[in-house]
Structure 1
Amino acid sequence: MAEGIDEFALRRVPRNKRLPFIGVALVHAGMLTALDQFMLGAALGHGMSILDAYTAIFIASVICGVLTYGMGVAGMNEGMSCSLLARWCGFGRIGSALIGIVIAVSLMGWFGIQTAIFGKSLDFALGGHLGFNAAAAIAGIALTILVAIGFRALRFIAKFAIPLFIAAICYISFLTLSGHDISGLILIKPSGEAISISTAITIIIGSYTLAALTTPDITRYLSNKKQVLGVSLITIIVGEFIVNGLAITLARVIGSSDVVTIMSTAAGGIGLLIVIFSTLRVNDLNLYSSSLGLANAIECLFGIRLNYIATTLAIGAVGTTLSILGILDQFIGFLELMGILFPPIVGIMLVEYYFVRTYKNALDSSRTTEALPDHQNTPSIVWPGIIGCAFGGFIGFFIEVGVPAINSLVAASLFYYLVTILARRFRPMVKQAA
């Protein structure tokens, strides 16, 4: 997919450029079959009972599955990336640029977290002689250069990395859990700082919602709804239930939520190699979608088309700096923030695309020629979408009743729907009165 980043960042993916299901499914599943999900599961296992943790996973997975499928079908239908599709899904050109920037900044944060894990593993493997800051800097520079120059090779590696990662996690779990009483592990009280089910749902959605939002970046290469459904189910089942579930149990056995400690304790040097390899694999996706978001934003705001390699190097530099500054220590807070900020964007895009459908005719007519809707049918900015996101975020942050992620999603979606429908009904009356 990387070879098309410049070609398809700002236009539809033609039907004759769509890719086979399995390759696209593996790339999308790679978003959730990584150490960030393993870290999340470890945090849940360290701060919750297993029953509560799985309850939170189930509820969050249902919500995320619906959002992923809805976004995925939209991306497949239109052949557009998320940040491009947002122009006609509730935000307009300038609004989509703001979304592109938010996506890019968030993925820089993810890059920083992954790089920090890589650096911590490297420093641990060297006995602490290198120091975390130096190890994180080396890891960030190496990852950025490798992704910028060798993206095609990384895509090839990803085809094998996901099955190998899952197999390795399962094998490590088997070795670690052998001889332990599983029923006893279930009854043991968590040893870490307590996490409520409400908070857990929010941080799970926070870990997933960016993948849901950027799903069109991947599914625009698919050909039908069944393929989108398959991609969504595979990612949910493998990422949430298998990777998270095993991490919850391992965290209980080892008594830690630190992924480097868990992996090194369970499998020694092999565990550290899995950590390093996983961070290498997932950061190509972080840089890919971040580059798409920035490309759309800069083109919308300034009319400039960015060079992929230069953009990747810049994003990698910022992400590496974040890792050195200690973003890994704010992992749960980072997920809570994402779980409040991103659901409103997804909700508004889905409400516009499937229910309000302001630009349906423009999208339908341009789709037949595989072009974009013309300038006349492309709004500059859609204020109900912008204000709706702010309103949803406010509700998520300050309303303490319920689940913050769900509150922000529902509030923003309802706000956008009601304001848009009311404006549509009153507009003819205003014109007639004038």
Structure 2
Amino acid sequence: MNQDNAIHDDYLANPVPQTARSSFLSVVLIRIGMMTAMAQFMLGAMLGNSMTFGQAMLATLLGSLILEFISLGLGFAGAREGLSTSLLARWCGFGRFGSALIGIVIAISLLGWFGVQNSVFAKGLDYAFDGRLGFGLSAAISGVALTALVAFGFRALSWTAKVAVPLFFLVIGWIVLVLLSGYNIIDLATTLPSGTPLALGAAATAVAGGCVAGALTTPDISRYCQNGRHVFWMITISIIVGEFVVNSIAILIAHALKTADVVDIMTQTAGWVGLLSVILAAVKVNDVNLYSSSLAFANVIDSVLGKKSRHTELTIILGTVGTTLSILGILDNFIDFLTLIGVVFPPIAGVMLVDYYILRTSRHLFDAARLQQTLPTSTPRMGWQAVVACVTGTLGGLFIDYGISSLNSIIIASAFYWMTNVVKNKFFTLADN
């Protein structure tokens, strides 16, 4: 694929050259927009309804540390090589066909996220029209609108974030002032939760699960960063805003209103301003979900069929699937969805980080390709050790009750992958001797 086609297809199967990198403001606003969705308010409200303020913020801290570790490790690699997560996976343990499996997992989960966010959008839209549209039609309208926007690629993400992120915080600030007027913040912070208690480990896993898809797909955005310093601050600022600021607000509102249905109340008590907050939230986060889904599926098609894809066509197809998921009611299974991806995604990140930074199995290929601004010339077919390590880590996260499931899963997968490679290398060394 020549450079003009690569630009047109948003570097689906090519490294992003330094000349095409974006400004720090652009990437940080995109990342903040991804981390400050209405679903994040739903998560914070769930914590506030089940935990004290201190417990909920501790769970936020623990989950955020996992997200920071994954995001920084993969984000630096993405910026250095100019590659998306799905492409990096080819040379970070998984191989051509293994990375296709990872691409499918990423794309499906992000389409699930698209469905969740679109459902929140549709509920607000339907409420604004007094139920005359119905949820199904509202979801279809919002899904089509968001899909059309993402079809324009990374540049659309950039200018959308510059408009939507500041407006979103202005609107949310006004709604929060209205809802919390008359309450004492200190009293709310010390109020006992009204809902069913939630264990710290489960809460931290839910926090990590809430943004672990974004953490794993950090290279999709960081490949447009100009340097490692931009990567660090993009990730750190977005986690502070998206996790600590948003969660603390949602926790306080949940304590004040004694309910976890904070998003419905926020959007339905503020009239058209509430609808505007939903629209801005959905636009800025779902464009990233759909964008990363298209990158993941492009790698699947290239790995399995050997064919290049067009960004616009993939976006339309995937947007239709995500819209269908929202119509079918994926929002009703929100917490189960968070818990599942909270133990499925960390092992993938763990394997990639161990391979890229510790084992460095393809570092010579990356170094040579970076000089030529092309993909590495040699691609492993299948990384069975990486796949087995991910399955092992996921099972450990699901069935070990002690500690934080997300942390358990990434530690188990990373250790398994590292040990099996050490044993394999020693075996081949002995065989050669």
Short-chain TM bin? over 0.9
Which residue pairs with 2:194 in the alignment?
191
Go from structure 1 to structure 2 and tell me whether the alpha carbon gap of 1:219 and 1:153 turns closer, same or farther (over 3 Å shift). closer
Could you tell me how far 1:191 is from its partner in structure 2?
Answer: 2.2
Q: Say yes or no: does 1:66 pair with 2:59.
A: no
Q: How does 1:408-423 map to 2 (within 5 A)?
A: 408-423=409-424
Which residue pairs with 1:428 in the alignment?
429
Q: Say yes or no: does 1:323 pair with 2:326.
A: yes
Which residue pairs with 1:310 in the alignment?
313
Q: Which moved more, 1:89-98 or 1:123-132?
A: 123-132
Is the 8 Å Cα contact of residues 6 and 12 (structure 2) preserved in structure 1?
A: no
Which residue pairs with 2:104 in the alignment?
101
Could you tell me how far 1:154 is from its partner in structure 2?
Answer: 5.4
2:175 corresponds, among 151, 172, 176, to 172
Q: Residue type of the partner of 1:424?
A: N
* Pairwise CA RMSD: 1.8
Q: Which moved more, 1:80-89 or 1:305-314?
A: 305-314
Go from structure 1 to structure 2 and tell me whether the alpha carbon gap of 1:152 and 1:76 turns closer, same or farther (over 3 Å shift). closer
2:119 corresponds, among 116, 121, 125, to 116
1:40-89 deviation per Cα after TM superposition (whole angstroms, max 9, x unaligned): 11111122211110000011112211211111100111111110011111
Could you tell me how far 1:7 is from its partner in structure 2?
Answer: 4.6
Could you tell me how far 1:398 is from its partner in structure 2?
Answer: 1.1
Provide structure 1 residue ranges, at least 5 long, that are not aligned to the other structure: none
Could you tell me how far 1:150 is from its partner in structure 2?
Answer: 8.4
Q: How does 1:53-92 map to 2 (within 5 A)?
A: 53-92=56-95
Q: How does 1:21-420 map to 2 (within 5 A)?
A: 21-148=24-151, 152-153=155-156, 155-264=158-267, 266-375=269-378, 378-420=379-421
Identity of aligned residues (%): 47
1:154-200 deviation per Cα after TM superposition (whole angstroms, max 9, x unaligned): 53121121122123223322332232122322333222333221111
Go from structure 1 to structure 2 and tell me whether the alpha carbon gap of 1:5 and 1:30 turns closer, same or farther (over 3 Å shift). farther
Go from structure 1 to structure 2 and tell me whether the alpha carbon gap of 1:149 and 1:226 turns closer, same or farther (over 3 Å shift). closer
Whole-Å Cα distance in 1 between the matches of residues 88 and 114 of structure 2? Answer: 24
> Secondary structure at 2:9's aligned position in 1?
helix
Go from structure 1 to structure 2 and tell me whether the alpha carbon gap of 1:22 and 1:311 turns closer, same or farther (over 3 Å shift). same
Whole-Å Cα distance in 2 between the matches of residues 316 and 94 of structure 1? Answer: 24
Please report the TM-score for the alignment, with normalisation by the length of structure 1. Answer: 0.94
Q: Residue type of the partner of 2:184?
A: D
Is the 8 Å Cα contact of residues 38 and 259 (structure 1) preserved in structure 2?
A: yes
Could you tell me how far 1:309 is from its partner in structure 2?
Answer: 1.9
Provide structure 2 residue ranges, at least 5 long, that are not aligned to the other structure: none
1:299-344 deviation per Cα after TM superposition (whole angstroms, max 9, x unaligned): 0000122222221111111111111111101111100011000000
1:74-120 deviation per Cα after TM superposition (whole angstroms, max 9, x unaligned): 01111111100111111111111111111110111011001111111
